Amino acid sequence: MYPTPAIVIGRINLGEADRILTLLTPDYGKLRVSIRGVRKIKSRLAGHVELFCQVRLMLAKGKNLDVVTSAELIHSLDAILDQPERLNLAYLMASMFDRLSLEGEAQPELYALGEEFLSTLDGGGEPVLLELALKLRLLEVLGYQPELSHCVICRRSDAACIYYLSPEKGGLIDEACGLAGGYRFDQKAIKLWRLALTVPMVRLSDIEGATKLAADSIDLCDQFYEYHFGRRFTGGLLGV
């Protein structure tokens, strides 16, 4: 048996009373585990392992899947269940983590990202800012962070320069280096993206004009995902 903190990012029903959970853990990466009898009315574990819950689990080694033997709830998102926009973002996070994370490989940075995102989402953070920060920081964790400090071709860094974002080249291209595959990128939006990668998510709403800048530029981030991963992540439960 072994303990682990975990975030529940997926679940499917199994048989009459059991479930298979998809977990994100810091030391074991993504895990798929079995939890027995959890759908029974009198189950003591049911309320601790809902989607998006952060929990402390005790797992026992199983033949095919490890088995949950105990669960202690750390944090849940009950407060946003009647807030469709926030709930949709939680599903979006779960979908992205499930599709892009690795099984059985330690991913403490990804787990920490999930913790911060869910805590800020529950605490009232601006949704579009949280979505942008989540997507940019996930790119960073996965090793695909766009270069935002200078032109990736000539390395020019100039606050007065017109820049474009090129998913193919992996970051900024200035106007002198050509526009092939690039999308015009406002200097204020570039600054916001840099801050979204460095400051706590809870502080992003304090940045003047940040919500509009995020709304206007998040499509560029989605294009980055489309180029590198073959799909956009533009919705969770309510989106595509």
What residue spans define the domains of the chain? 2-76, 82-229
Instruction: For the chain, state the CA radius of gyration.
Output: 20
pTM above 0.85, yes or no: yes
Q: For residue 44, what pLDDT is reported?
A: 80
Q: For residue 233, what pLDDT is reported?
A: 92
The domain made up of 2-76 has a fold known as OB fold (Dihydrolipoamide Acetyltransferase, E2P) (2.40.50)
> pLDDT tens digits, residue range 128-152?
999 999 999 999 999 999 999 999 9
Q: For residue 102, what pLDDT is reported?
A: 85
CATH number for 82-229 (one of 1.10.150.530, 1.20.1440.120, 1.20.120.450, 1.20.140.160): it is 1.20.1440.120
d(CA 234, CA 232): 6
Closest of 38, 80, 30, 72 to residue 55, by C-alpha: 72
- Which helix or strand (DSSP H or E) is residue 10 part of? strand 2-14
Which residues does the chain have with pLDDT short of 50? 238-240
> pLDDT tens digits, residue range 153-194?
999 998 888 899 999 999 999 988 876 556 889 899 999 999
**Phi, psi angles (nearest 5°) of residue 226:** -60, -40
How many beta carbons lie within 10 A of that of residue 82, not counting itself?
A: 8
